[in-house]
Structure 1
Amino acid sequence: MTIVVHHNPSCGTSRNTIELIRASGEEPVIIEYLTEGWTRAQLLALFAAAGLTPREAMRTVRSPAEELGLTNPGVDDETILAAMVEHPVLVNRPIVASPRGVRLCRPAELVLDLLDAAGDKS
């Protein structure tokens, strides 16, 4: 089974999520999205799979969202997506993809639902 974590190493929640995955016996594929960046298509696919809108997935704390005017309710999803591609830190983390689904794992314990299926299918 492959579990992918879109990770920010400076984020405690992201680090805790990885530890929960490892504790389940899996070694996740870790993508440091601040270094690798995002594509528009990648974000659209992740958000669709997780049932999130770009606004719901946007990080507003310790990010440039407010300075960029993205917290205004009138800003559309396309504008937010374009900003996320340009400023990867705008995407909240960690986003975890597993065979059971995709989820923004805040708090970290939300990842447990994505791991249960691994045990069920083994």
Structure 2
Amino acid sequence: MQATIWHNPACGTSRKTLAILEAAPGVELTVIEYLKAPPTREKLVQLHRDAGLSHRQGMRTTNSPAAELVADLGLKDADEATILDAMMAHPILIQRPLVETEKGVRLCRPPETVHEIL
């Protein structure tokens, strides 16, 4: 099975999810450090749609610098298009880790959520 994780190595949840994927038998893993190689707009739309998330639900809102950006950009009450635009301009706003397999997409918070698509 092919699996792709949009990963931030500085995030403990992302590291734990990656470890689960690495330990899973038969998983061919692609790791994308999304802060270095953000998803395209179309890919992020698809990931959120397939995970059943609105862009608001897929937006990181806590911890610096994301929380500061949410406040500075006025995203608390922003519409979905504005939130998506902000994520494209500031990938740190993308909640992680997102994992995609042939069985679907999940925002793996908590990390064990990844088992749903393995």
Partner of 1:111: 114
Distance 1:61 1:107 in 2: 16
Residues paired across the two proteins, number: 113
Q: Is this contact kept in 2: 1:18–1:28, CA < 8 A?
A: no
Q: Is this contact kept in 2: 1:94–1:105, CA < 8 A?
A: yes
Paired amino acid for 1:54: H
More helix by percentage: 1
Partner of 2:50: 49
Partner of 2:6: 6
User: In the alignment, does 2:41 pair up with 1:40?
Assistant: yes
Q: Provide runs of 4+ in structure 1 moved above 4 Å.
A: none
User: In the alignment, does 2:68 pair up with 1:68?
Assistant: no
User: Which is worse superposed, 50-59 or 26-35?
Assistant: 26-35
State the SS of the aligned residue for 1:103: strand
Distance 2:36 2:70 in 1: 19
The alignment's C-alpha RMSD in Å is 1.0
Tell me by how many angstroms 1:45 deviates.
0.7
Deviation track 1:41-82 (CA, whole Å, cap 9, x = no partner) reads: 11111111111100000000120212211112xx11000000
Structure 1 length normalisation: TM-score? Answer: 0.88
Structure 1: runs of 5+ lacking an equivalent: 116-122
Q: Which of these two proteins has the greater Rg computed from alpha carbons?
A: 1
Structure 2: runs of 5+ lacking an equivalent: none
Paired amino acid for 1:5: I
Tell me by how many angstroms 1:17 deviates.
0.2
Structure 2 length normalisation: TM-score? Answer: 0.91
Q: Is this contact kept in 2: 1:60–1:66, CA < 8 A?
A: no
